[in-house]
Amino acid sequence: MLIINDTVVKKEIQFSFLYRDMWQSSGKYQPRVDQLKQIAPVIIGMNCFSRVETNGGAFEQVNLLYGENPNVAVREFTAPFNKAGIRTHMLDRGLNGLRMNPVPADVRRLMYKVKRAQGVDITRIFDGLNDARNIIPSIQYAKEGGMIPQASLCITYSPIHTVNYYVNLADQLIEAGAQEICLKDMAGIGRPVSNGKIIKGIKTRHPEIPVQYHGHSGPGFSVASMLEAAHNGVDYIDVAMEPLSWGMIHPDVITIQAMLKDAGFLVPEINMDAYMEARRLTQAFMDDFLGYFIDPSNKIMTSLLVGCGLPGGMMGSMMADLKGMHSAINLALKQKGKKEVKLNSLVIQLFKEVEAIWPMLGYPPLVTPFSQYVKNIALMNIFAAAKDEPRFSLIDKDSWNMILGRMGQLPGTLAPEIVELAQANNLEFYEGDPQTPYPDELDRFRKEMAENGWSEGPDQEELFEFAMHERQYRDMRSGAAKNRFNQELEQAKEKAGAPIIIKRPVVEIPMFTFEEITAEYPMAKPVHAPSKGQVIWQYDIRDASTAPFEGSTIQKGSNLCYIQNVYGIEPVEVGYGGTIVGTYVKQGDKVEKGQILAFIN
The beta-carbon contacts of 203-209 under 8 Å, at least 24 apart in sequence, are 203/232, 203/233, 205/167, 205/170, 205/171, 206/170, 206/171, 206/174, 206/181, 209/174, 209/178, 209/179, 209/180, 209/181
Give the CA distances from residue 62 to residues 29, 55, 321, in Å, rounded to whole numbers and listed in that order: 6, 11, 20
C-alpha span between 87 and 84 (Å, rounded): 9
Q: Is 553 exposed, middle or buried (0-12, 13-18, 19+ CB in 10 A)?
A: exposed
Q: Are 554 and 546 in contact (CB under 8 A)?
A: no
- Residue among 593, 553, 597, 598 at smallest CA distance from 577: 553
Q: Which pLDDT value is given to residue 518?
A: 57
- Residue among 357, 326, 359, 355 at smallest CA distance from 343: 326
- What is the residue-wise DSSP string for 391-430? TTS---HHHHHHHTTBTB--SSPPPHHHHHHHHHTTPPP-
Label the pairing between strands 559-565 and 2-4. unpaired
Q: Which pLDDT value is given to residue 241?
A: 97
> Mean pLDDT throughout 369-394?
90
Structural domains in the chain?
12-295 (3.20.20.70), 307-424 (no CATH), 514-600 (2.40.50.100)
Instruction: Give the pLDDT confidence of 421-457 residue by residue, as tens digits.
Output: 999 999 999 999 999 999 999 999 999 999 999 999 9
Q: Are 20 and 54 in contact (CB under 8 A)?
A: yes
Q: Which pLDDT value is given to residue 150?
A: 98
Indicate if the pLDDT at residue 391 is higher than 70.
Answer: yes
* Between 7 and 111, residue with greater pLDDT: 111
Indicate if the pLDDT at residue 2 is higher than 60.
Answer: no
C-alpha span between 483 and 268 (Å, rounded): 45
Query: Could you say which DSSP state residue 158 is in?
Result: S
Q: Which pLDDT value is given to residue 568?
A: 64
Q: Which pLDDT value is given to residue 502?
A: 32
Q: What is the pTM of this model?
A: 0.80
C-alpha span between 412 and 432 (Å, rounded): 17
User: What is the overall mean pLDDT for the chain?
Assistant: 88
Indicate if the pLDDT at residue 538 is higher than 60.
Answer: no
End-to-end C-alpha distance for the chain, whole angstroms: 71
Q: Which pLDDT value is given to residue 567?
A: 60
Instruction: Give the pLDDT confidence of 471-510 residue by residue, as tens digits.
Output: 999 999 999 999 999 988 888 888 777 543 333 333 334 4
C-alpha span between 336 and 162 (Å, rounded): 44
429: Cβ contacts below 8 Å, ≥ 6 apart = 404, 405, 422
Q: Are 104 and 438 in contact (CB under 8 A)?
A: yes
**544 pLDDT tier (thresholds 50, 70, 90):** very low
Instruction: Give the pLDDT confidence of 12-34 residue by residue, as tens digits.
Output: 999 999 999 999 888 889 999 99
Instruction: Give the pLDDT confidence of 244-288 residue by residue, as tens digits.
Output: 999 989 999 999 999 999 999 999 999 999 999 999 999 999 999
Within 319-418, strands assigned E span none
- Of 63-77, 129-143, 482-496, the least confident: 482-496
86: Cβ contacts below 8 Å, ≥ 6 apart = 44, 49, 50, 51, 52
- Of 38-52, 127-141, 209-223, 546-560, the least confident: 546-560
